[in-house]
Structure 1
C-alpha cells in the first residue's frame, strides 16, 4: 500500500509500516512538515494515490463531502501509547490491507476494523 501518515501519529508508525513493505511518507517529511495544511495533504495523497492515516476528524469530513482524500484510514483509538499503537498495526496490517480492497474509508480502533 502507498500510505501517508498524518502529523498526530508518530514517525515510528511510518517506519514500522515501511519495514512491513509499504511505501510510506510521514507529514514531517513534506516541505511544510507537520504544519502542512490538511487540504495540501489530501491533494498530495490523492495525486500519489496514497491512503491518509490520521486521527483527525477533518479528513473524514473532507472524504465524505469532497471525496478527498480519496482513501482514508481513521485511527479511532483515543489516547494510546505509541508502543500499543504500533502493536495494533502489527496485528491488523493484513486485515487493513484487505479492507481497502473493498472500501475507500476504513476505521480502526482497539477492537475492530470497520469499512465505511
Structure 2
C-alpha cells in the first residue's frame, strides 16, 4: 500500500514507514509542504491510490460523505509524544497495511485500531 501523511504528523513517521519499505509521501515532500491544502491531498490520494494518514477529522467527514479520500487511516491518539506515536506505528502498521486490502477506513487509537465500514 501507498501512504500520504498529513502535515500535523511528524516527518519522522514517513521515515519510519520507508525503513519498512512502504511507499510514503509526507506533505513536506510536496511543493507547498505544510501549506498543502486538504483538497489537494484528497485529489493526490485518489490519483495515486494513497491512504491518507491524518489526525484531521475533516478527512473523516469527506470520506463518510463522498468516499474521498478513497482510503483513510485516522489517528485518534490525542496529543502524544512523537516517540510514542512512532512506537505505535512500528507495532501496528504491518497488520493495518494488511487490513487495507479489504477495508477503506481504519482508526488508530492509543490502544487499538478500529475498522469502520
> Is TM-score (shorter-chain normalized) higher than 0.5?
yes
Gaps of 5+ in 2: none
SS in 2 for 1:62: helix
- 1:59 offset after TM fit, Å? 0.4
Aligned equivalent of 1:55: 55
Aligned equivalent of 1:32: 32
Aligned equivalent of 1:2: 2
Say yes or no: does 1:44 pair with 2:44: yes
Q: Show the 5 A alignment for 1:1-116.
A: 1-116=1-116
| CA deviation profile, 1:47-80 (whole Å, cap 9, x unmatched) | 0000000000000011111111000000110011
Aligned mates of 1:99, 1:111 — CA distance in 2: 17
Aligned mates of 2:3, 2:106 — CA distance in 1: 13
TM-score (norm 1): 0.97
SS in 1 for 2:24: strand
- 1:98 offset after TM fit, Å? 2.2
Gaps of 5+ in 1: none
The alignment yields a C-alpha RMSD, in angstroms, of: 0.7
Matched residue count: 116
Aligned mates of 1:115, 1:4 — CA distance in 2: 19
TM-score (norm 2): 0.96
Aligned mates of 1:26, 1:51 — CA distance in 2: 11
SS in 1 for 2:80: coil
Moved >4 Å (runs of 4+): none
SS in 2 for 1:59: helix
SS in 2 for 1:102: coil
